[in-house]
Amino acid sequence: MADIARIAGVSKATVSRALNRSVLVNQETRERIVALASSLNYTINIGAQNLRLKQNRTVGVVVPFDSETRQHLSDPFFLSMLGALADALTARGYDMLLSRIDAEQIDCAAQPFDTGRVIGIILIGQWRQHEQLNQLAARHVPIVVWGAQLPQQLYTTVGGDNVSGGMLATAHLIEQGRRRIAFFGDINLPEVAQRYRGYCNALAAHALAVDPQLRVSVSFIPEGGTQAVQELARRGVAYDAIFACSDLLAMTAINTLRDAGRHVPADVAVVGYDDIALAAYYHPALSTIRQPVRAAGEALVGALLELVDGRAVASAQLPTELIVRATAPLKELP
């Protein structure tokens, strides 16, 4: 704006008024300044203007897209989290700006904040970008991440207790008499790694060995469950239960088992993760670990608004809960 004022021979205030179409600037001067600004590719950053005037009430919600996993925005867990965030923001009088970015370029998540369009960012998922997120926090981008707490973490996270969730799922299967429990999920993702730790802890607590042949690395896409069951068949390993790190993985695994003539839970008991709305209506109804999605929406929004106000915010870990349904029912008493 200072450059335009200097070239046009007017004050910065006159430039500002002209670009805002103020009648306080005569038409000829206004048109000259607008044309000059256009030639220099200059536009008013409305978001930054609102932020300066304390009028901006928009929060950015960013969902990364991982080209390797190809997890789509229509994933039921994403949709339930977006709904919880929208409810929490609306209740506080804020708008939500939703965007999708490449998971390999997490630093792009800050763009809506850098341009003044939003007051802060809520990011759904860490993926494998812990260091990039630390860099955003180091340059004071107000950002809160749905994800796991990790060592040397500079940014604020809100997440479910993944270790406890993994232990609850695995211990429940063991208590139902299952001893060969397969694990489906990509442990390169921080949350899944913690669920696997809980799985291993539960096995150790019951004096059962961890068999690497029972762990299958698959991404959070619907066909992942099919791929995992087929991989176990290729390996030729016996199993009587599955702990899948998402409900969609669990459901497609059950479909594949059914096609192969195996019965759930008689032959293979299954526990999923998330407790998406469809889990209770699936046939057979899916046993799963419930993520506290509604509480997560409230906590994520609350933490971000604290950061925006300049206050330090500790990361939060929310409790997970075992939901027992037909795919891994309680053992009947004799």
Q: How far apart are CA 196 and CA 309, in angstroms?
A: 37
Q: How far apart are CA 310 and CA 119, in angstroms?
A: 12
Residue 13, φ and ψ in degrees, nearest 5: -60, -40
Domain tally, the chain: 3
Half-sphere exposure of 314 (CA within 13 A, CB side): 3
Same domain, 176 and 285: yes
Same domain, 75 and 12: no
Tell me: the pLDDT tens digits for 278-329?
A: 999 999 999 999 999 999 999 999 999 999 999 999 999 999 999 999 999 9
Average pLDDT, the chain: 91
Mean pLDDT of 35-47: 73
Same domain, 274 and 166: yes
Find out whether 77 and 246 touch, Cβ atoms under 8 Å.
Answer: yes
Helix (H) or strand (E) holding 63: strand 58-65
Q: How far apart are CA 224 and CA 247, in angstroms?
A: 11
Same domain, 124 and 184: no
Same domain, 10 and 63: no
Helix (H) or strand (E) holding 91: helix 76-91
Same domain, 287 and 166: yes
Find out whether 244 and 250 touch, Cβ atoms under 8 Å.
Answer: yes
Query: Is residue 10 over pLDDT 50?
Result: yes
Instruction: Name the pTM for this structure.
Output: 0.81
Tell me: the pLDDT tens digits for 132-186?
A: 899 999 989 999 999 999 999 999 999 999 999 999 999 999 999 999 999 999 9
Residue 42, φ and ψ in degrees, nearest 5: -100, 130
Query: Locate tokens 């599955």: which residue?
Result: 242
Q: What b/e string do you get for 227-242 counting C-beta neighbours within 10 Å, with b at 16 or more?
A: bbbebbeeeeeebbbb
Q: How far apart are CA 202 and CA 208, in angstroms?
A: 8
Same domain, 167 and 149: no
